[in-house]
Amino acid sequence: MTRHADHTSSQFSGLGLVHRPRRNRKSDWARRLVREHQLSVDDLIWPLFVCEGQSIREPIASMPGVFRHSVDQLVEQAKQARDLGIPVIALFPYTPPTLRDADGSEALNQNNLVCQACRAVKSAVPEVGLLTDVALDPYTSHGHDGLLQDGHILNDQTVEVLVRQAVVQAQAGADIIAPSDMMDGRVAAIRAGLDDHGFHDVQIMAYAAKYASAFYGPFRDAVGSNATLVGDKRTYQMDPFNTNEALHEVALDLEEGADMVMVKPGMPYLDIIHRVKDSFGRPTFAYQVSGEYAMIEAASANGWLDGDKAMMESLAAFKRAGADGILTYFAPRAAEKLLKR
């Protein structure tokens, strides 16, 4: 065995240290052997945007590498998810402006974009799980997640609509309903609505701790709600300065029957993910949102950081914080890297 002498002096016999943490980092195999957390393809949920038309793949300027796909193209993306082993895709529609109204009524159309996409993906790629977002913002002319009256978002009336939206999505084949609206009491109401219609096995992943965040900007470009949004969402999404309130929100959603909970955004809220997982020990997901993706991509495009490495490091952070899985626009890229190893 070769001994690595200290190069500064051949006489130097070392510090007599008992603890040398660097030993466990001396090579790739040694680092892998003691690695505390793992990221696998099974941890990934891939959000995808759907638009009208045929053979369409429309770039989103603020999210380089992300596209809006027409339903036929979306099916191809779902096949890619299957081939990579990504368990779930999440669908978000770009509703044509002419179909947006004050009540978001297109959300209840059984033939809206999301429902068409669900049916097409379910029949072509039944192996992939389908998550659909419940909230009215892609459908309302004012860009809010709920019904708006005299500048106020109506809670209970909105919940009634959300229940119907969830049932319509389940009828189209959604496997996981993900309410992202932050209305009070919606999880219990949606659970009851799904059960009434025989959808006992449709899961609910609650956007339980969702903050009023600037990091959703590029997403709102993607679904076209930036152009329409009147005011902000601070009367329903959470104040970024709060922690205990997040635990309260999560406790309520679990009590109301959520099967899984989510914290959103991701990287600026790792402390919340950690506390949620620690306090409840239930399936906990992080949403690495559009603005987080855009930041990494923008810096990488400028040559300011290595995009692939920053991507993997950001995903490692979620696992370290305690997340069971991550919704991320990086899903296919990360999956390819993970499978190549």
Contact residues for ligand PBG, defined by CB under 6 A: 133, 135, 137, 145, 180, 216, 219-220, 289-290
Catalytic residue among 26, 79, 264, 309: 264
Plot region of 43 (φ>0 → left; ψ -120 to 50 → alpha; else → beta)? alpha
Please state the closest distance from residue 54 (CB atom) to ligand PBG, in A. Answer: 26
Known active-site residue 210 = yes
Helices within the chain (DSSP H only): 28-33, 71-84, 113-124, 155-172, 186-196, 217-223, 244-255, 270-280, 290-301, 307-321, 331-340
Angle subtended by helix axes 307-321 and 331-340, to nearest 10: 90
Rounded Cα distance, 153 and 216, in Å: 19
Catalytic residue among 26, 122, 210, 277: 210
Please state the closest distance from residue 77 (CB atom) to ligand PBG, in A. Answer: 16
Q: Give the Cα-Cα-Cα angle 331, 336, 337 (nearest 5 degrees).
A: 100
Comparing CB distances to ligand PBG, the nearer of 77 and 290 is: 290
Please state the closest distance from residue 206 (CB atom) to ligand PBG, in A. Answer: 12
Comparing CB distances to ligand PBG, the nearer of 126 and 231 is: 231
- Report the candidate in 278, 250, 251, 271 with the shortest Cα–Cα distance to residue 318: 271
Q: Nearest-CB residue to ligand PBG?
A: 219
Known active-site residue 340 = no
Going from the C-alpha of 97 to that of each of 52, 77, 94, 106, 138, the distances in angstroms are 12, 25, 9, 11, 10
Comparing CB distances to ligand PBG, the nearer of 72 and 235 is: 235
Going from the C-alpha of 47 to that of each of 14, 132, 169, 288, the distances in angstroms are 53, 10, 16, 10
Comparing CB distances to ligand PBG, the nearer of 199 and 236 is: 236
Is-contact 130 121, C-beta < 8 A?
Answer: yes
253 contacts: CB under 8 Å, gap ≥ 6: 187, 206, 208, 261
Please state the closest distance from residue 220 (CB atom) to ligand PBG, in A. Answer: 6
Please state the closest distance from residue 207 (CB atom) to ligand PBG, in A. Answer: 7
Comparing CB distances to ligand PBG, the nearer of 18 and 61 is: 61
Plot region of 231 (φ>0 → left; ψ -120 to 50 → alpha; else → beta)? left
* Residue linked to tokens 């084949």: 173
Is-contact 234 212, C-beta < 8 A?
Answer: yes
Residue 23 burial class via C-beta count within 10 angstroms: exposed 0-12, middle 13-18, buried 19 and up: exposed
Please state the closest distance from residue 171 (CB atom) to ligand PBG, in A. Answer: 21
Comparing CB distances to ligand PBG, the nearer of 234 and 248 is: 234
Q: Could you give the residue numbers annotated as active site? A: 210, 264
